[in-house]
C-alpha cells in the first residue's frame, strides 16, 4: 500500500516499522494451511541442516543470492515470511476517522474499507510490544 486516500480526506500510510496503524490478519479458512506449510518448511530446513545439506537447501528454497551467513533463527524467520506473504492481509486504520482498510487478497494492492460505528481514531491496531519472553 504505502499510502492511500481515505474517504474522509486523510492519507493512510504504512511506511513506519513498526506501524501503529497497521496490522495483519490471516483468514480462519487459511490458518491451518498457513501453519502446516510453514512448519513443514521449517522442519525440512532443520532436516537438511542435520544431514549436512543446509546451504543447498537454502539455495534451492530461497535463491542462490540468499546470504550464506544468516543464522538458523534468521532462516526460520525468512521461511515464515515467505508463508506470511502468501496468506496475510494488511489492515490499516485511518488515523483521522478510524476507518479500517483491509487488503482484498495477499499480494494485491487493492483495499476495501469499513467505517466504525463511533467515528474517530481508536488506535485499534496500535497493539503492544511483547516483553515477556518466558511465556511460550
Which residues in the 70-129 window bind Zn ion by CB under 5 A? 94, 96-97, 99
- The nearest distance, CB 94 to Zn ion, in angstroms, is 3
Count Cα neighbours of 88 within 13 Å in the Cβ-side half-sphere: 15
Q: Which is nearer to Zn ion, 53 or 96 (CB)?
A: 96
> Binding residues for Zn ion, how many (CB under 5 A)?
7
Taking CB under 5 A as the criterion, the residue among 10, 19, 48, 80 binding Zn ion is 10
- From residue 108, give the alpha-carbon distance in Å to each of 10, 16, 24, 78, 93: 22, 20, 14, 20, 18
Cβ distance 72 to 64 under 8 Å? Answer: no
Residue nearer to Zn ion on the CB measure, 38 or 94: 94
Please choose, out of 2-10, 27-35, 36-44, 55-63, the segment that lies near Zn ion by the rule CB under 5 A.
2-10
Binding site for Zn ion (CB under 5 A): 6, 8, 10, 94, 96-97, 99
Amino acid at each position: 500500500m504505502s499510502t492511500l486516500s481515505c474517504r474522509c480526506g486523510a492519507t493512510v500510510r504504512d511506511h513506519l516499522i513498526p506501524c501503529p496503524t497497521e496490522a495483519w490478519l490471516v483468514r480462519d479458512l487459511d490458518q491451518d494451511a498457513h501453519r502446516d506449510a510453514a512448519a513443514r518448511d521449517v522442519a525440512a530446513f532443520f532436516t537438511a541442516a542435520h544431514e549436512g545439506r543446509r546451504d543447498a537447501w537454502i539455495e534451492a528454497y530461497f535463491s542462490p543470492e540468499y546470504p550464506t551467513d544468516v543464522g538458523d533463527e534468521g532462516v526460520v524467520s525468512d521461511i515464515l515470511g515467505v508463508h506470511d506473504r502468501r496468506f496475510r492481509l494488511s489492515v490499516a486504520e485511518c488515523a483521522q476517522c478510524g476507518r479500517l482498510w483491509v487488503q482484498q487478497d495477499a499480494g494485491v494492492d487493492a483495499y476495501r474499507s469499513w467505517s466504525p460505528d463511533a467515528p474517530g481514531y481508536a488506535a485499534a491496531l496500535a497493539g503492544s510490544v511483547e516483553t515477556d519472553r518466558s511465556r511460550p
